[in-house]
C-alpha cells in the first residue's frame, strides 16, 4: 500500500482512534483525514508543489504526526528536525536542504532566527481546557486581528477552512522523497538520509508482517519523533496497520510507573523501547512485575541500539515477556534484521535473521566470509535509502552496487542467526541515540583553551555506550568543567553532551601520528576499573552465598533477583542468608536494614554502606 491507499482505507473506520496523546487527547482517523485534507489547502496556499521540501519541527507530537502524513499525501518532502537542535546546526541543514517552507514552533522561529515568509508557526491553544464560564463569556467569533495571525499559525489556520475540496495529486511517484533525516555528519558536512515513498511503505509492510499486526493493535511508543523509530514505528506504523498510537505522556525515567500503568490502562499490545529504558525497567520493577500480564499485551520491541544479552534475559524474566529486537539504521528506514517474535528467528543475544532483504558479510578484501567468521555487514533491499542528500561523496562510500555498508562488524552462526560483534565506524550509540563523535569534536575545538580533542564511546550498563571526551589543553591554560559544559549545552543537543571529560597530557599515537583510539579507550577504562572491581567482588560473594542457601544455581541469581522473583528465597532462608553474610563480611545488620534487604541489589547497598 502507498500513502493514498492507506488514507483511502482509513475512510472506512473514521471513528477508530488513531492516536491517544497528552492529557488523554484523542484523535480519530476521521479527525486525521479531515486535517490531511485541510492541510493540502494550506500547502497549496503557500504555493508548495509536489517534490518541494518543508522543515517540520515542533514539540507537539500530534502536529508532527498529522503534518508529516499530510505532506506525504501532498507529495512534499519532510525534513524532520529535532526542536532541540541548535541554531548553527539548523542553519547548516537549511543551507544544505534549501527548504521551501517551515512548519515550526513559534519559539524556534526566534531561536533559529528563521526569516522565511513561508513559515507556519505551530501554536497549540488549550481549547479543550476552557471552563464552562469562559466558554459562555468568550467572544463568539474571532476578531479580525486574530484571524490575521491565525493564517500563519497551526492548527488555528485550519479552523477557517470548512467544506472545501482538498487539493492534492491523484497519484504519487513511488520514488518521490518522503522524508529527510539529518542524523550525523559535522556542521560543515551534514548528512541527510533520503527516504523515498517506496523505501518507507515497503518497510512498513515488512514491519507489519514481522510483528503480525492485526486490527486493533495498540502501540505504545514514547520515543523521539525526530528519530526513525519514533515516527515510523509510532504514528506511521499505527496508520499503516489501522491501529492506535499511544504517547500519552513524556518519557521520563523517574516515572516508569506511568509506562507500567499504561500497559493495562490502554490495553497496549506492543511496546517500543530503547535498551536504555530496558535497563531502567530492570532496576525499577519492584511491585510492578505483573504489569505486562494483561490479556492484550503481546511483546516489547527493542529498537535503536544494541541490546545486551544479559539485560535481554533479565528483563524478559522479571516481567515474563518476550522482547523482540530489531536491527537497522536510519538508512534502512528502521529495520532489516529481526530477532523474534517468531521462534524461527528468535535467539537472544543475536539480532536474528534478515526479513525482506539480503545480507552479506565481507572481509577487508571485500570477499564474502564463511559462517562463523567476522566481517562488515552489508544490506540490500527495497527499503535501503536513496542516498545522502546532495552528498554523492558520502553516498558512494556506503552505497555500492545497491549494498549498504552498515559499518557494523557481524558474524552469522550455523543456523543463520546474525550477531553483531563490533563496529567499524566511530559512531557512538548512547541511550538509543546514534552520535557522531566528529560532530562533538568539531564543537569542542571551538573552545580556545582546547588544543586537541577526541570523543570516544565506552561501554555503559545503562546507556549502552557513554560519550567520553578526551582533551589536551594548550600549554599553560586552565579550563573548568563548569565553563566547558556551559558552552557545550549552548551548542549541542542534550543527547550529544559528553558524560565524562578527561584531561590528558597527550594522546597515544601510532607511527603515522594518528590517534590510537583503542589504546585511548583502554587507557580511560583502566582509570575507572578500581571501584567497580571491588563491588563486583562483594556481589559475587553475596550471590554465591545466596545460591548455597536458597539451593539454586548461581547463574539463576543476578543483582536484580528479589524475594519476589527468586524461588527458594522465603522468610526462613532470608534470615539464614543475612546471618551468613554477617559472618562473611564481619558486619552486623540492624533490623531496619534487614527489612529493606529484599533484593540482591538492596543487600549490596546495605553491605557497601556498612563497609564504608
Partner 1 sequence: MELLLEVFLFSIPLIILSWALPKRFVLLSQIIITGAFILYKSPISFLILTFISFGNFYLLHKSNLKNSIKIGISLVVLILLIASAKLLFSIHDHWIIPLGMSYYIFRNIHYTIEYYKGKILNESILFYLAYNFFLPVLIIGPINRYHEFVKDWQRRRFNSEYFSAGLQRILYGVSKVMIVGNYLLTAKGAVFISDIDDSHAWLKAYLETIESVLNAYFQFAGYSDIAIGISLFLGYRIMDNFNYPFLASNMQEFWSKYHMSLSAFCRDYIYTPIASFYRKPLLGIIATMIIIGLWHEISFSFLIWGALQAIGIILSSFFKASSDSFIRKNLGRIFVLNYFSLSSVVIHYDELAQALHVYKVLFFLN
The CA-atom distances, in angstroms, between 288 and each of 478, 566, 572 are 49, 15, 24
Closer CB to partner 1, residue 163 or residue 583?
583
Closer CB to partner 1, residue 16 or residue 574?
574
Provide the minimum distance between the beta carbon of 256 and partner 1 in the complex, in angstroms, as a whole number: 11
Provide the minimum distance between the beta carbon of 248 and partner 1 in the complex, in angstroms, as a whole number: 12
Residue with cell 488514507: 7
* CA separation for the pair 78, 71 (Å, rounded): 7
Ramachandran category for residue 544: left, alpha or beta (phi over 0 → left; psi -120 to 50 → alpha): alpha
Provide the minimum distance between the beta carbon of 125 and partner 1 in the complex, in angstroms, as a whole number: 22
Closer CB to partner 1, residue 289 or residue 451?
289
- Bridge partners of 411, per DSSP, are 419
Pairing of strands 299-302, 323-327: parallel
- Residue 246, CA atoms < 13 Å, CB-side half-sphere: 21
Closer CB to partner 1, residue 286 or residue 495?
286
Closer CB to partner 1, residue 295 or residue 530?
295
Provide the minimum distance between the beta carbon of 565 and partner 1 in the complex, in angstroms, as a whole number: 17
Residue with cell 573552545: 447
Provide the minimum distance between the beta carbon of 314 and partner 1 in the complex, in angstroms, as a whole number: 22
* CA separation for the pair 413, 61 (Å, rounded): 41
Closer CB to partner 1, residue 7 or residue 262?
262
Confirm if 497 and 487 have CB atoms less than 8 A apart.
no
Q: How far is CA 418 from the centre of its chain?
A: 22
Confirm if 328 and 337 have CB atoms less than 8 A apart.
yes
Closer CB to partner 1, residue 15 or residue 478?
15
244 contact partners, CB below 8 Å, separation of at least 6: 16, 17, 18, 19, 20, 217, 218, 219, 238
Q: How far is CA 516 from the centre of its chain?
A: 30
Residue with cell 564481619: 586
3-state helix, strand, coil in the chain (%, to 5): 40, 20, 40
For 459, other C-beta atoms within 10 Å of its C-beta total 12
Provide the minimum distance between the beta carbon of 571 and partner 1 in the complex, in angstroms, as a whole number: 6
Provide the minimum distance between the beta carbon of 523 and partner 1 in the complex, in angstroms, as a whole number: 39
Provide the minimum distance between the beta carbon of 573 and partner 1 in the complex, in angstroms, as a whole number: 10
* CA separation for the pair 145, 202 (Å, rounded): 46
The values of phi and psi at residue 229, to 5°, are -70, -25
523 exposure class (CB count in 10 Å sphere: 0-12, 13-18, 19+): middle
Confirm if 316 and 341 have CB atoms less than 8 A apart.
no
Confirm if 100 and 94 have CB atoms less than 8 A apart.
no
Confirm if 389 and 240 have CB atoms less than 8 A apart.
no
For 158, other C-beta atoms within 10 Å of its C-beta total 17
Provide the minimum distance between the beta carbon of 129 and partner 1 in the complex, in angstroms, as a whole number: 13
Confirm if 549 and 576 have CB atoms less than 8 A apart.
yes
Provide the minimum distance between the beta carbon of 290 and partner 1 in the complex, in angstroms, as a whole number: 9
Closer CB to partner 1, residue 259 or residue 351?
259
Closer CB to partner 1, residue 502 or residue 610?
610
Provide the minimum distance between the beta carbon of 594 and partner 1 in the complex, in angstroms, as a whole number: 4
Closer CB to partner 1, residue 502 or residue 574?
574
Provide the minimum distance between the beta carbon of 136 and partner 1 in the complex, in angstroms, as a whole number: 19
Closer CB to partner 1, residue 514 or residue 588?
588
Among candidates 73, 78, 76, 11, which has minimal Cα distance to 49? 76
Provide the minimum distance between the beta carbon of 257 and partner 1 in the complex, in angstroms, as a whole number: 7
Confirm if 319 and 287 have CB atoms less than 8 A apart.
no
Closer CB to partner 1, residue 536 or residue 570?
570
Omega before residue 363 within 30° of 0, cis = no
Among candidates 255, 289, 279, 204, which has minimal Cα distance to 431? 279
Provide the minimum distance between the beta carbon of 508 and partner 1 in the complex, in angstroms, as a whole number: 46
Provide the minimum distance between the beta carbon of 582 and partner 1 in the complex, in angstroms, as a whole number: 9
Closer CB to partner 1, residue 211 or residue 319?
319
Closer CB to partner 1, residue 529 or residue 596?
596
Q: Please report the DSSP string for 94-114 in residue order.
A: HHHH--SEEEEEHHHHHHTT-
Confirm if 351 and 420 have CB atoms less than 8 A apart.
yes
Q: Would you tell me which residues interact with partner 1 (CB under 8 A)? A: 257, 260-267, 286-288, 295, 571-572, 574-575, 578-579, 589, 591-592, 594-596
Closer CB to partner 1, residue 295 or residue 531?
295
Among candidates 163, 193, 162, which has minimal Cα distance to 178? 193
Amino acid at each position: 500500500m502507498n500513502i493514498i491507499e492507506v488514507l483511502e482505507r482509513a475512510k472506512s473506520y473514521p471513528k477508530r482512534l488513531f492516536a491517544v496523546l497528552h492529557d488523554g487527547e484523542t484523535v480519530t482517523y476521521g479527525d486525521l483525514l479531515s486535517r490531511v485534507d485541510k492541510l493540502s489547502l494550506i500547502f497549496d496556499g503557500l504555493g508548495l508543489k509536489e517534490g518541494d521540501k518543508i522543515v517540520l519541527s515542533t514539540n507537539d507530537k500530534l502536529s508532527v504526526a498529522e503534518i508529516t502524513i499530510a505532506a506525504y499525501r501532498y507529495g512534499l518532502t519532510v525534513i524532520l528536525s529535532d526542536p532541540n537542535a541548535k541554531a548553527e546546526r539548523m542553519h547548516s541543514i537549511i543551507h544544505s536542504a534549501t527548504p521551501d517552507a517551515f512548519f515550526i514552533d513559534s519559539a524556534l522561529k526566534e531561536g533559529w532566527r528563521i526569516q522565511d515568509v513561508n513559515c507556519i508557526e505551530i501554536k497549540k491553544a488549550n481549547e479543550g481546557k476552557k471552563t464552562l464560564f469562559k466558554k459562555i463569556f468568550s467572544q463568539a467569533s474571532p476578531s479580525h486581528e486574530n484571524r490575521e495571525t491565525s493564517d500563519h499559525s497551526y492548527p488555528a489556520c485550519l479552523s477557517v477552512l470548512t467544506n472545501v475540496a482538498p487539493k492534492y495529486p491523484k497519484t504519487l511517484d513511488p520514488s518521490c522523497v518522503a522524508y529527510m533525516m539529518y542524523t550525523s555528519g559535522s556542521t560543515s558536512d551534514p548528512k541527510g538520509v533520503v527516504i523515498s515513498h517506496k523505501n518507507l511503505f515497503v518497510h512498513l509492510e515488512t514491519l507489519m508482517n514481522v510483528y503480525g499486526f492485526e486490527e486493533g493493535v495498540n502501540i505504545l511508543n514514547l520515543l523521539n519523533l525526530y528519530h526513525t523509530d519514533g515516527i515510523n514505528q509510532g504514528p506511521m506504523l499505527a496508520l499503516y496497520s489501522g491501529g492506535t498510537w499511544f504517547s500519552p505522556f513524556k518519557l521520563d525515567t523517574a516515572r516508569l510507573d506511568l509506562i507500567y500503568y499504561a500497559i493495562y490502562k490502554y490495553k497496549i499490545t506492543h511496546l517500543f523501547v530503547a535498551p536504555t529504558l530496558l535497563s531502567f525497567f530492570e532496576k525499577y520493577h519492584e511491585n510492578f512485575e505483573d504489569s505486562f500480564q494483561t490479556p492484550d499485551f503481546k511483546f516489547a520491541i527493542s529498537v535503536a541500539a544494541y541490546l545486551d544479552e544479559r539485560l535481554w534475559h533479565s528483563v524478559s524474566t522479571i516481567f515474563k515477556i518476550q522482547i523482540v529486537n530489531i536491527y537497522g539504521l536510519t538508512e534502512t528506514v528502521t529495520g532489516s534484521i529481526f530477532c523474534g517474535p517468531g521462534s524461527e528467528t528468535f535467539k537472544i543475544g543475536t539480532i536474528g535473521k534478515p526479513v525482506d532483504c539480503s545480507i552479506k558479510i565481507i572481509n577487508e578484501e571485500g570477499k564474502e566470509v564463511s559462517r562463523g567468521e567476522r566481517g562488515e555487514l552489508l544490506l540490500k533491499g527495497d527499503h535501503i535509502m536513496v542516498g545522502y542528500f546532495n552528498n554523492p561523496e558520502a553516498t558512494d562510500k556506503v552505497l555500492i552496487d545497491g549494498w549498504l555498508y552498515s559499518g557494523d562488524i557481524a558474524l552469522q552462526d550455523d543456523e543463520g542467526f546474525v550477531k553483531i560483534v563490533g563496529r567499524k565506524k566511530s559512531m557512538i550509540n548512547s541511550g538509543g541515540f546514534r552520535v557522531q563523535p566528529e560532530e562533538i569534536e568539531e564543537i569542542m575545538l571551538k573552545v580556545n583553551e582546547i588544543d586537541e580533542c577526541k570523543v570516544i564511546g565506552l561501554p555503559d550498563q545503562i546507556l549502552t555506550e557513554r560519550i567520553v571526551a578526551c582533551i589536551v589543553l594548550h600549554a599553560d591554560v586552565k579550563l573548568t568543567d563548569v565553563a566547558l559544559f556551559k558552552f557545550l549545552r549552548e551548542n549541542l543537543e542534550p543527547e550529544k553532551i559528553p558524560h565524562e571529560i578527561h584531561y590528558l597530557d597527550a594522546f597515544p599515537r601510532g607511527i603515522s601520528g594518528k590517534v590510537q583510539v583503542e589504546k585511548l579507550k583502554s587507557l580511560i577504562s583502566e582509570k575507572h576499573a578500581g571501584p567497580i572491581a571491588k563491588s563486583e567482588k562483594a556481589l559475587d560473594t553475596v550471590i554465591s552465598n545466596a545460591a548455597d542457601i536458597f539451593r539454586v544455581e548461581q547463574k539463576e541469581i543476578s543483582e536484580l533477583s528479589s524475594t519476589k522473583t527468586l524461588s527458594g528465597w522465603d522468610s526462613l532462608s532470608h534470615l539464614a542468608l543475612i546471618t551468613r553474610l554477617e559472618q562473611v563480611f564481619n558486619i552486623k545488620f540492624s533490623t531496619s536494614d534487614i527489612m529493606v534487604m529484599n533484593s540482591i541489589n538492596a543487600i549490596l547497598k546495605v553491605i557497601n554502606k556498612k563497609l564504608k
